[in-house]
Chains A and B, each alone.
Chain A
Amino acid sequence: MIRVIIPAHLRTLARVEGEVRVEVEGVATQRAVLDALEERYPMLRGTIRDHVTQKRRPFVRFFACERDLSHEAPDARLPDAVIAGTEPFLIVGAIAGG
């Protein structure tokens, strides 16, 4: 079970509160987690990754274990702590309020 934290406005869109937990079969990668997330919450398609290219959108970043994973390969294995569920996979989006 992978813990995922998504931006506040996407939680509203997906109608979830707090962390989201997704099951991933096989190797836990960014792509596997995002695929599972979008399958469970189809309204998130296109908000985190581009609809067509499936690339991370430039106003969104991925972090875990204090590290920036945004430029890691989509099929790279996630950190062990994320796979073990002790640390969440953070999807952080730009906000501008002040």
Chain B
Amino acid sequence: MTDSLLTPAMEELRPDLGEVVSLLETRAPYGAVCLSSREMTQYMVENNQERVIPGEPTAGVILRGFDGQTMRERCLGGFDREKVLREAKDFIQGVEFAGNGKIDPGEERVENFQTKMERDPALVPTREKLDYLREMNQRVNQFDSRIVNARVRLTEFREKTVFRNRAEDLAQDIQRVHMSIIVTVMGDKGVVYDTKTKCGTAGLEILTFSDEELEKLVKNTIKLLDAGRIEPGEYTVVTAPGVSGVICHESFGHGVETDMFLKERAKAVNFIGKRVGSELVDIYDDPSLPGEFGSYSFDDEGLLAKPTRIVSKGVFERGLTDLYSATALGIERSPNGRRQDLTRKVYPRMTNTFFGSGETPVEDLIGQVEDGIYIAKISSGMEDPKGWGIQVTGHYGFEIKGGEITEKMYSPIGMTGYVPEVLSSISAVGNDFGLSGGYCGKGTKELVPVTDGGPHLLLKARLG
């Protein structure tokens, strides 16, 4: 059972949007209207306190006029019909649209989409959510008396969107959920923490944690108290799926968002159709993956979700676009036009970005390593689309000796390298697959939900 597709105010305004588009197109070569409502609520239970914290919601109308040269937008809070019609008239008055814009509005289509879920957070009482988090907090604390805090956090995100242009009338109701458990331990050498996260485009039914998962989280946190710093140098490295994902995200994710091509910020523009990694490397972006945190049915510019193959057998095929960059570059659009919320512009953005799986069983992949490092948990990454440098910070990793992961732990582990060298050094790709979710910024702003991941990888890199 799920909540209604749109809010009553959005439902009421939706039938009039065709009129607004017609009004915009009396002057603009291409007009579109978007109704957007985004809400977030966070529930948190710690050892000695609890909270319910709503994020600042956004709800309103985006009026859009585009001539192939400049994208103009006017954003209004609320869904008042008369105000929208009045502002639409004002918005296009006095603007000199270029007359040569030929923007394809897509095929005629009227469709509604809604996240499939068993337990819609909107229909589960707050008391039940808090009780679940309290129980989770107690389950974590029972594993070790050295825990100073177990912060259990559930975050719900609801996005309701209507997109209307002269051909399309689309609506979607997306429910995202995210749950993290952060365990903090204090020792003689300082404070350490580790996290376990689950998330998806789904209901609360996906947020369950086994005792085995929680015990492993606590054990790793305790182990971090005695983790050492790695001796800098070049290593044979095995990356866990979450770490593989960040390599993918920072190398052929941000670097192939095609606004970067227009700004001359991306080295990849010179490598279309060229080799950028070993033959084992396939990279995809796919907002249509069911249930993943970065998934949706259509992007913020009305293009239906579908997969994009970015790298095939080590050869760079194409980048990720929004309407503007695809128009300016004269290439086919991919469904990656995304905005943080109505207060922000659309950019080409990643969704679920990952290395394709290979054929090597993970035990065999680790078994090939006589002396190396297993990077188990990611901390962060940063893009360098022009220099193709990689900065990936692993939260921790373990020594590999004689084909086996040992108990010797290092934290943090910085990984650097030149993207084509790192991707070319991939000598085995695991037959497993995993995605990790979170929020991705463009530079330091424009946060959107994404996942990244893939299989375990065997590669060479500089660590420090």
| A, B: real partners | no
Instruction: Give the interface of A toward B (CB within 8 A).
Output: none
